[in-house]
Structure 1
């Protein structure tokens, strides 16, 4: 009996009675449905096997968790679950990740490895990025100040020697010794070589870029989506999100005519030219070299132009003769981006464009898309990327779309409101329940009106920002004029400049107020 009680206590301490529910919780958190629990691991996809391995590791509850890109192959809901799990994990967690949103929500310290050196920062990713920027700016300022002092001393030495007198030569030699003893500050290193991406269409499309009506797709008895309807206007950046296996990539393949839809239609607007980025890079030819991949698709380019383009995507020298089939996922991604840039398309359809990109390259892609004057439709699990680039989000749930006119932060805010509305509606009458639920799926005409208003607001904001930038530059130039020593004794000139600056600043404040009103 004593042995039984001892073993029973040990079993209870090890959560023996709760282990099944704990396994179920982890599997569901990582995106597995209960119908998949009895599947043989050998029959799972590569992504599913990775999720099983992650779940198995989490359930062992080690003192230190070592995780390498843990958000790979997870959908947004699973990533959110993992964030909560790791934030509450009692042990230590050391992870490698390029998911900035994930890093922001999980870590308390950031270790960066750059130029063979390791630096540790307290805080999350946003705090790390700000601190790193400040440190680099301070180091650069210190370096530039010293360089200015060195140039000044060298000029003084040159003048002293030009006098060709014994006393002045001794003074020059003294200053030279001082320079030799000076602890030289090394110039802060720039970032590693970065890809140079510039996206710009050669032809402006019509205002109506894409119209999808009643679109549906199934594989066997499994329906991905049905009766999907939406429109995309010129200049919109639309992100498609949803759980794994809901048909996001399939939708993009249908729109690019890689596979057919089962029913429904889609119509492209006038002068629409599609540029397609495939996450699996099926549009690349594995047997070709990088150089051939570009030259065959763009025969009008000279060898020099092709090499210059590839150099912008970090392929130089003999690298351009590597076979596509021998490249890493990141390298294939850069080749696809190079082809996308050369296409000069006005409607970009992108499937997981940030996969295999490092953080610096993701930021360059974000900047390129934000400067792009064409239209973008993409699928991504990178929430930071979505937040930076999307003007609208289509959430694929229950085989249809829910429309959110805003970025990822806006999506989260509205989704919380809808969740609260559904909860409240459950306690009300059937009529009020239906009225509340209808808020999650906007009427087709109402969607178009809201989208038109949002496009006008975004255009007005853009115009205001351009005006503000011009006036700020003009005000800064006048500040420089006021600081010029030649105007110090010229009261009339100073008064003219001051009055002009006051007039510009008044206009600026009016524009700031208009911007704040529109941005709310």
Structure 2
């Protein structure tokens, strides 16, 4: 059943057409990935679906009761703590809880039966509603989602106002998920998550009971979740069945088929034009008529447009003039502390040509480690030694090295005054800053534009040792692929932080996991690291199981010994009970020989006891035989 229907929608900003006559249907339960280059109109589409902006023409019909929308640059301004802020999602439930508690107090203090009936009726109504809203599971839901998105219990009381931009985005994602809307619109939800949180989110969304549309440049993430792809390209929207990998295959086949159809038609047009020319040259009445006939055929032909292969991408090549020595970096016993210990005893070596992924959960100090290496943090303990002729180049994820007040052209030219204006503009054009774009102030640039400018600065540094912090964060899929190829071709040394598993898998030759106590090193790419990690987990599980089995066996042995001891004691007590019963029966038999008890009627009670004891004694004999046999 359709939950979203979009028909012939067009949206422009000024003279720029963003979306043109797009149409699609989203069914209940669909999980859709929305892809396209930066600026293609993906966020515009989400703003239209969320009702944040209006269409120029066409219609959008949505039959959802609740829509949850996570925008890419959401900022929460709140004086509440993390936990209290998330609780606002369930205001109705917590208000009900207060009402129920208030009623319970009234009921405990009321003695009037008529008023009690009224209060109990209201209490029953409120508790039914509370159960219907699943009120009893709210606290565990909040804790589960916050933990899954990387918020530790110790952080729950942290004021929202003290959080970083990335943490606020994660908090907004938590609120959006807990809202449990019929339709989830998620714009780059993985941007500020570490790998553990991304994997948690994948599982959460995979089993989410509603409809999901996701804008993402994370290829692994899209592959795990979505079953359809919406591609926005050149103002139009195309629909592809399957995940991102399937989309790539279908897109390739589609382009090949379109190109083949175009080329075949061009051959046919050329052939017909040749026939027309030949017939015209013959100058006979018959040949002229044939030429006219063929001309009409050409005019009626529906011309196939040449497929547009979009080559609008950055031109990346990392190079350097000076070769470094084989030993690029040696780190010994590095420790960092701010208001708490971040990490300690970090030691590792980096050799020339290695491409190392530095991984670990958010807050473990990955970015801080890079900043120590480039000299931006100096309050550390330990030893850092760079090798011979090592020239570092640093790409930071927050773009603080860019001067917000400068223009794009000045940012490059001021640091590279030996270049001519033509050379600077040519370089900027290769990074998609063309014509008037070069005079844009950096403060007005998008995240993607700042990323491109930072990459150009990194290339111009001619560094033979690159340190990159989340280099794929603001890049579209095509730009990511270009960056991947450039780094694969780079013959220098690379240390990078990333949460993009596809990127890590393709680039890394070694994986370093940063922990509070040091680093764990895995030789190989991300897939190898995961394989080894799973293997270690299995081994630990086996050891744990073995330990548990040994523990259980020992427990059983102790229990058996205890049972044997108890059994002997029980048998001894049973024998004593048998002896006492036998003695009592002897006494009763002697009693029954006395004529007096028949006169007084005492015989009735004695006979009852005697029969009961005889029956009980038979049972005890049988039990004794079983236990002692």
For the criterion TM > 0.5, the same-fold answer is yes
Q: TM-score, normalised by structure 1?
A: 0.78
In the aligned structure 1, how far is the partner of 2:235 from the partner of 2:241? 20
Preserved contact between residue 68 and residue 97 of structure 1 (Cα < 8 Å): yes
Which residue in the other structure is 1:276 paired with?
Answer: 394
Find the residue that maps to 2:302 and give its secondary structure.
coil
Find the residue that maps to 1:267 and give its secondary structure.
strand
Which residue in the other structure is 1:376 paired with?
Answer: 494
Which residue in the other structure is 2:519 paired with?
Answer: 401
Q: CA deviation at 1:192?
A: 6.1
In the alignment, does 2:187 pair up with 1:68?
yes
In the aligned structure 2, how far is the partner of 1:160 from the partner of 1:266? 83
Q: CA deviation at 1:335?
A: 0.8
Larger Rg: 2
Q: CA deviation at 1:429?
A: 6.4
Which residue in the other structure is 1:59 paired with?
Answer: 178
- Taking the TM superposition and a 5 Å limit, the aligned residue runs for 1:114-133 are 114-133=233-252
In the alignment, does 2:326 pair up with 1:207?
yes
RMSD (Å) for aligned C-alpha atoms: 2.1
Q: CA deviation at 1:33?
A: 0.9
Q: CA deviation at 1:205?
A: 2.3
In the alignment, does 2:414 pair up with 1:296?
yes
Return 5+ residue gaps in structure 2 as ranges: 1-119, 551-629
Which residue in the other structure is 1:417 paired with?
Answer: 535
In the aligned structure 2, how far is the partner of 1:344 from the partner of 1:321? 25
In the alignment, does 2:158 pair up with 1:39?
yes
In the alignment, does 2:467 pair up with 1:349?
yes
Preserved contact between residue 215 and residue 261 of structure 1 (Cα < 8 Å): no
1:328-384: CA deviation from partner (whole Å, max 9, x where unpaired): 222111111111222232211111111211111111111111121221111111112
In the aligned structure 1, how far is the partner of 2:265 from the partner of 2:324? 52
In the aligned structure 1, how far is the partner of 2:123 from the partner of 2:443? 61
2:209 is matched with which residue: 90, 95, 112? 90
In the alignment, does 2:431 pair up with 1:313?
yes
Preserved contact between residue 183 and residue 212 of structure 2 (Cα < 8 Å): yes
In the aligned structure 1, how far is the partner of 2:443 from the partner of 2:221? 31
Which residue in the other structure is 1:487 paired with?
Answer: none
Q: CA deviation at 1:286?
A: 2.2
1:80-124: CA deviation from partner (whole Å, max 9, x where unpaired): 111111111111112222222211111111111111111111211
357-366 vs 290-299, which moves further:
290-299
Aligned length: 430
Preserved contact between residue 335 and residue 345 of structure 2 (Cα < 8 Å): yes
Q: CA deviation at 1:164?
A: 4.5
Find the residue that maps to 2:135 and give its secondary structure.
coil
In the aligned structure 2, how far is the partner of 1:59 from the partner of 1:377? 37
- Taking the TM superposition and a 5 Å limit, the aligned residue runs for 1:58-207 are 58-191=177-310, 193-207=312-326
Q: CA deviation at 1:46?
A: 2.1
In the aligned structure 2, how far is the partner of 1:114 from the partner of 1:146? 24
- Taking the TM superposition and a 5 Å limit, the aligned residue runs for 1:224-243 are 224-243=342-361
In the aligned structure 2, how far is the partner of 1:410 from the partner of 1:44? 35
1:296-318: CA deviation from partner (whole Å, max 9, x where unpaired): 22222121111110000011112
Which residue in the other structure is 1:263 paired with?
Answer: 381
Return 5+ residue gaps in structure 1 as ranges: 433-520
Q: TM-score, normalised by structure 2?
A: 0.65
Which residue in the other structure is 1:385 paired with?
Answer: 503
Which residue in the other structure is 1:48 paired with?
Answer: 167
Preserved contact between residue 213 and residue 266 of structure 1 (Cα < 8 Å): yes
In the aligned structure 1, how far is the partner of 2:491 from the partner of 2:274? 49
153-162 vs 75-84, which moves further:
153-162
Preserved contact between residue 234 and residue 374 of structure 1 (Cα < 8 Å): yes
In the aligned structure 2, how far is the partner of 1:208 from the partner of 1:248? 22
Find the residue that maps to 1:394 and give its secondary structure.
strand
In the aligned structure 2, how far is the partner of 1:288 from the partner of 1:45? 25
In the aligned structure 1, how far is the partner of 2:123 from the partner of 2:236? 56
Preserved contact between residue 344 and residue 516 of structure 2 (Cα < 8 Å): no
